[in-house]
């Protein structure tokens, strides 16, 4: 997609001012975080040793990776279906669909998390409906566990999944699909052999974006997890603010940042990262 | 690829979008192995007709028949037609060979046979060396040939082409026209081509169908259409023409006497054509290349005097605009090689043409 190294350079130049600003306000504090993770409580690699020895550290990482993977998979699936629907819609219908997808982005994440709690709690609308229809006898535990977190996170992430996928689907020439049918391919084959491969860059981009976003989720898991299921962001907050274990907290923060950078580095080789940040073209 | 092509017929084909009629009651027949071109200005409904034939557009009324069988309701993937789209629509994520193999793959043909057919199809369009390239690494002309190979590889019943040459420059277009014509002869299939380039239509086709505002205006062999246009639109769209408004003076069995102002004209009457009564107003179409320059003392059925108003050198010929007393401005083209005069503005000349050079045409309904 970007055959010329020259185009890459141009792109980097464009973000140079932002990059300088980031250096002053982000890199400096992050460097400090990094430093603390090696110095508190004593200098050395003690905090990082915990990655291999502490069961609670491993559990929180495991939980985070599991929730993020499930969230990413579900958000991609739902997002792909939505994006496909939107990409093939008429111009007028498409504008409405995009609005519907974007509206949640303008609602505070806090409001959305509490809305889900109201819907999913034992006396909530969902449990009431399930019991009245006779599907379940007892209210289900739908919130304050991983299920609740995943529901909230998927809801939050679907728009972020839709946008890069929609951008890459809109680039597909509709005549290619007509041509494939004209050459004898039934609809499923047209989708599997033409549409899906051509929308793959958008799918991967959306996957990277959603996964990275999910790793750092704080408010949604904190509210929908009810303090019982911890993901790294909340765990870091707990270490630093409640338990005053700066060394451990900053170690995990460093691990999180490194993971995100590594993910980006790996996928920048596979896919045009400009898509991830929504440039579309 | 030796099986004969199939015959196609359109019966009263009509397509409306809301209140707008894009295709209006078009009936056409294409015999097996013929090359038919749909010709018309932009928006005349050519693509819509082709899409109805291919099955992408459902006609509002009328039927599409293949060898007498009604296929109007058949989905496109079941029709077995090869199609070359405007802009080619090659699959960008596949190589040339994979593109050409696509129709065979969806027909679940075995690997060995598939490879064999792909090679034969690429040979046919002389692209065997480019099998492993991506479409983006090919020139426009090469892409066009890949599209042709892909459309022909599965021995389609019919080949549909939507302005296959329109994206190319003039020279390449002429070259590919030749190739397309040769290809048609080699594979012996029925071709339906869409274009708004009249030269392409004349040089390629066995039959040309001329469309305007969704209606079929005239259909026939290229020479018949060019020499005997039925309406002013056809005469004007297919090549250039002078239009003369004349009044019938006196009828006759084979020719009639006409006049424009004080200039008498003779017009041959084609066998089977009507014999208009004296006083009738006629519109004549007269091709610029059918008018000759008369030397001193030379005579012709029709003669006028005039002065050259403007002229231009066209390489193979001169294009003259000649101002005349009664006939207004006449467009004349003369071969430049061995031209008897050196054109100059204001030069007085005599023009002549035979009684069968011009043809009466109908004024188009508004
Ligand atoms: N989906 C549609 N909805 C409404 N009108 C349409 C639609 N498709 C085509 N038309 C109209 O039908 C008419 C014929 O269109 P068509 O594409 O067949 O023209 P064409 O002869 O192929 O023109 P061109 O040479 O520009 O390709 C046009 O006026 C066009 O605006
Ligand atoms: Mg068209």
Angstrom distance (rounded) from CA B75 to CA B359:
45
**What digits encode the pLDDT tens for the residues B96-130?**
999 999 999 999 999 999 999 999 999 888 888 99
Picking from B314, B322, B244, B310, the residue whose alpha carbon sits closest to that of residue B283 is B244
Q: Which of B77, B85, B150 sits opposite A175 (nearest CB)?
A: B85
- For tokens 């039925």, the residue is B230
Q: Record the tokens describing residue A222, joined without a space.
A: 């904190």
- Within 8 A of B92 by CB-CB distance, chain A residues are 176, 198
Q: Quote the pLDDT of residue A8.
A: 63
**Residue A200: closest CA among chain B residues belongs to which residue?**
B93
Angstrom distance (rounded) from CA B328 to CA B306:
9
Q: How far is CA B235 from the centre of its chain?
A: 12
CB B333 within 8 A of CB B320: yes
User: For chain B, which ranges sit under pLDDT 70?
Assistant: 1-4, 366
Distance, in angstroms, between A179 CA and closest chain B CA?
A: 7
Contact B134/A at CB under 8 A? no
Q: Quote the pLDDT of residue A42.
A: 85
User: How many CB atoms sit inside 10 A of residue B194's CB?
Assistant: 25
Centre of ligand 1 to C-alpha B195, Å, is 14
Q: How far is CA B301 from the centre of its chain?
A: 31
More confident residue, A16 or B114: B114
Contact B233/A at CB under 8 A? no
Start-end ranges of CATH 2.40.50.140 in chain B?
Answer: 240-355
- Beta carbons of A182 and B56 less than 8 Å apart: yes
Q: Record the tokens describing residue A243, joined without a space.
A: 């338990």
- Beta carbons of B81 and A176 less than 8 Å apart: no
Mutate which of B39, B47, B214 to test ligand 1's pocket (most atoms within 8 Å of Cβ)? B47
User: What contacts 24+ positions apart, CB below 8 Å, involve A190-196?
Assistant: A193/B102, A193/B105, A193/B106, A194/B91, A195/A84, A195/A169
- Within 8 A of B106 by CB-CB distance, chain A residues are 183-186, 189, 193
CB B181 within 8 A of CB B204: yes
Distance, in angstroms, between A193 CA and closest chain B CA?
A: 9
**Number of domains making up chain A:** 1
- Within 8 A of A194 by CB-CB distance, chain B residues are 91
- How does residue A276 score in pLDDT terms, banded at 50, 70 and 90? low
| A183, A193, A199, best to mutate vs chain B, most B CBs in 10 Å | A183
CATH, residue A269: 1.10.3720.10
Which residue, judged by its Cα, is nearest atom 31 of ligand 1? B43
Q: Quick check: A82 pLDDT over 70?
A: yes
Residues in a beta bridge with B310: B321
Residue A14 lies in a domain: no
Supply the DSSP symbol for B240.
-
Which residue, judged by its Cα, is nearest atom 29 of ligand 1? B43
Start-end ranges of CATH 3.40.50.300 in chain B?
Answer: 8-231
Which residue, judged by its Cα, is nearest atom 26 of ligand 1? B42
Q: Record the tokens describing residue B117, joined without a space.
A: 């057919």
Q: Record the tokens describing residue B101, joined without a space.
A: 């193999």
Average pLDDT over all residues of chain B: 91
- For the Cβ of B195 lying below 6 angstroms from any atom of ligand 1, the answer is no
Residue A242, Ramachandran bin (φ over 0: left; ψ between -120 and 50: alpha; else beta): alpha
Distance, in angstroms, between A177 CA and closest chain B CA?
A: 9
Contact B159/A at CB under 8 A? no
Which residue, judged by its Cα, is nearest atom 3 of ligand 1? B17
Angstrom distance (rounded) from CA A241 to CA A181:
61
SS3 B139: coil
Atom of ligand 1 nearest to the CA of B49: 18
- For tokens 């043409």, the residue is B353
- What range defines the domain where residue A170 resides? 32-280
Q: Transcribe B157-185 into DSSP letters.
A: SEEEEESTTTTS-HHHHHHHHHHHHHHHH
Residue A11 lies in a domain: no
Average pLDDT over all residues of chain A: 87
Mutate which of B16, B48, B198, B214 to test ligand 1's pocket (most atoms within 8 Å of Cβ)? B48
Angstrom distance (rounded) from CA A42 to CA A35:
12
Per-residue pLDDT, averaged over A22-48, amounts to 87
CB A48 within 8 A of CB A248: no
Picking from A79, A113, A82, the residue whose alpha carbon sits closest to that of residue A96 is A82
The span from the first CA to the last CA of chain A, in angstroms, equals 10
Provide the ipTM: 0.76
Angstrom distance (rounded) from CA B204 to CA A73:
55
**What digits encode the pLDDT tens for the residues A172-196?**
999 999 999 999 999 999 999 999 9
Q: Quote the pLDDT of residue A11.
A: 74
Q: How far is CA B88 from the centre of its chain?
A: 20
- Within 8 A of A173 by CB-CB distance, chain B residues are 87, 89
Picking from B285, B279, B159, B170, the residue whose alpha carbon sits closest to that of residue B218 is B285
CB A263 within 8 A of CB A208: yes
- For tokens 């890069």, the residue is A164
Contacts of A4 (CB under 8 A, 6+ apart): none
Contact B108/A at CB under 8 A? no
**What digits encode the pLDDT tens for the residues B3-42?**
567 899 999 999 999 999 999 999 999 999 999 999 999 9
**What digits encode the pLDDT tens for the residues A121-130?**
988 899 899 9
Q: Quick check: A94 pLDDT over 50?
A: yes
Atom of ligand 1 nearest to the CA of B214: 14
- Beta carbons of A183 and B75 less than 8 Å apart: no
CB B250 within 8 A of CB B278: yes
Contact A1/B at CB under 8 A? no
Give the largest CA-CA distance in chain A.
71
Instruction: Provide the percentage of residues in chain A whose pLDDT is more than 90.
Output: 48
Centre of ligand 1 to C-alpha B212, Å, is 12
Q: Quote the pLDDT of residue A273.
A: 60
Picking from B200, B216, B207, the residue whose alpha carbon sits closest to that of residue B45 is B216
- Within 8 A of A3 by CB-CB distance, chain B residues are none
**What digits encode the pLDDT tens for the residues A95-106?**
999 998 888 888
Angstrom distance (rounded) from CA B351 to CA B325:
12
Supply the DSSP symbol for B77.
G
Contact B56/A at CB under 8 A? yes
- Beta carbons of A180 and B102 less than 8 Å apart: yes
- Beta carbons of B76 and A179 less than 8 Å apart: no
Contact A183/B at CB under 8 A? yes
Atom of ligand 1 nearest to the CA of B48: 18
Contact A197/B at CB under 8 A? yes
- How does residue A7 score in pLDDT terms, banded at 50, 70 and 90? low
SS3 content of chain B, % helix, strand, coil (to 5): 25, 35, 40
- Beta carbons of B75 and A181 less than 8 Å apart: yes
Distance, in angstroms, between A271 CA and closest chain B CA?
A: 14
CB B33 within 8 A of CB B188: yes
- Highest mean pLDDT of the ranges A19-33, A198-212, B172-186: A198-212
Contact B102/A at CB under 8 A? yes
Residue A16 lies in a domain: no
- Beta carbons of A178 and B150 less than 8 Å apart: no
The CATH superfamily holding the domain B240-355 is: Nucleic acid-binding proteins (2.40.50.140)
CATH number of B8-231: 3.40.50.300
């Amino acid at each position: 997609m970007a055959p010329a190294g020259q185009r890459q350079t141009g792109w980097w130049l464009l973000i140079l001012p932002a990059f300088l600003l980031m250096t002053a306000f982000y890199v400096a504090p992050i460097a400090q975080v990094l430093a603390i993770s090696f110095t508190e409580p004593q200098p050395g690699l003690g905090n990082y040793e915990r990655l291999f020895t502490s069961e609670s550290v491993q559990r929180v990482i495991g939980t985070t990776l599991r929730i993020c993977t499930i969230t990413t998979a579900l958000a991609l699936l739902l997002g792909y279906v939505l994006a496909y629907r939107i990409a093939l819609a008429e111009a007028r219908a498409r504008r409405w669909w995009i609005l519907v997808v974007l509206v949640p982005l303008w609602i505070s994440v806090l409001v959305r998390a509490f809305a889900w709690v109201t819907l999913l709690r034992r006396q909530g609308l969902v449990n009431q409906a399930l019991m009245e229809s006779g599907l379940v006898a007892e209210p289900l535990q739908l919130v304050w566990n991983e299920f609740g977190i995943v529901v909230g996170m998927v809801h939050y992430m679907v728009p972020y999944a839709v946008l890069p996928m929609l951008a890459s689907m809109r680039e597909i020439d509709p005549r290619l699909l007509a041509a494939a049918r004209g050459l004898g391919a039934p609809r499923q084959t047209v989708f599997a052999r033409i549409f899906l491969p051509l929308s793959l860059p958008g799918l991967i981009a959306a996957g990277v974006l959603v996964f990275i976003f999910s790793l750092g989720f704080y408010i949604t898991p904190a509210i929908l997890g009810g303090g019982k299921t911890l993901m790294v962001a909340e765990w870091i907050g707990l270490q630093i603010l409640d338990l005053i274990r700066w060394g451990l907290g900053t170690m995990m923060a460093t691990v999180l940042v490194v993971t995100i950078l590594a993910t980006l580095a790996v996928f920048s080789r596979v896919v045009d990262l400009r898509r991830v940040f929504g440039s579309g073209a | 690829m030796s099986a004969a092509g199939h015959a196609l017929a359109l019966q009263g084909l009509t397509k409306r979008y809301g209140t707008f009629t894009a295709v209006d009651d078009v009936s056409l027949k294409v015999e097996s192995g013929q090359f038919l071109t749909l010709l018309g200005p932009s928006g005349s409904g050519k693509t819509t007709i082709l899409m109805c034939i291919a099955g992408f557009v459902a006609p509002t009324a009328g039927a599409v028949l293949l060898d007498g069988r009604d296929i109007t309701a058949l989905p496109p993937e079941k029709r077995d037609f090869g199609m070359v789209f405007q802009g080619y629509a090659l699959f960008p994520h596949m190589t040339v060979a994979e593109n050409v193999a696509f129709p065979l793959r969806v027909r679940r043909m075995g690997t060995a046979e598939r490879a064999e057919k792909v090679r034969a199809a690429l040979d046919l369009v002389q692209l065997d060396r480019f099998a492993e390239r991506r479409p983006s690494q090919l020139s426009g002309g090469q892409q066009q040939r890949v599209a042709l190979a892909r459309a022909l590889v599965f021995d389609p019943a019919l080949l549909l082409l939507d302005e296959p040459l329109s994206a190319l420059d003039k020279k390449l277009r002429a070259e590919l026209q030749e190739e397309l014509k040769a290809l048609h002869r080699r594979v012996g299939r029925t071709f339906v081509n869409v274009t708004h380039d009249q030269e392409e239509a004349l040089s390629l086709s066995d039959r040309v169908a001329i469309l305007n505002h969704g209606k079929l205006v005239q259909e026939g062999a290229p020479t018949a259409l060019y020499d005997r246009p039925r309406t002013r639109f056809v005469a004007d769209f297919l090549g250039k023409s002078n239009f003369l408004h004349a009044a019938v003076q006196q009828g006759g069995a084979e020719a009639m006497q006409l006049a424009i102002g004080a200039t008498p004209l003779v017009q041959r009457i084609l066998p089977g054509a009507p014999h208009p009564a004296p006083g009738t107003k006629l519109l004549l179409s007269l091709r610029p290349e059918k008018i000759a320059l008369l030397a001193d003392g030379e005579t012709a059925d029709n003669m006028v005097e005039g002065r050259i108003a403007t002229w231009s050198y066209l390489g193979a010929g001169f294009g003259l605009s000649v101002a005349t007393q009664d006939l207004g401005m006449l467009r004349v083209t003369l071969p430049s090689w061995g031209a008897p005069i050196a054109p100059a503005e204001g030069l007085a000349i005599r023009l002549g043409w035979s009684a069968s050079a011009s043809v009466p045409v109908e004024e188009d309904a508004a």
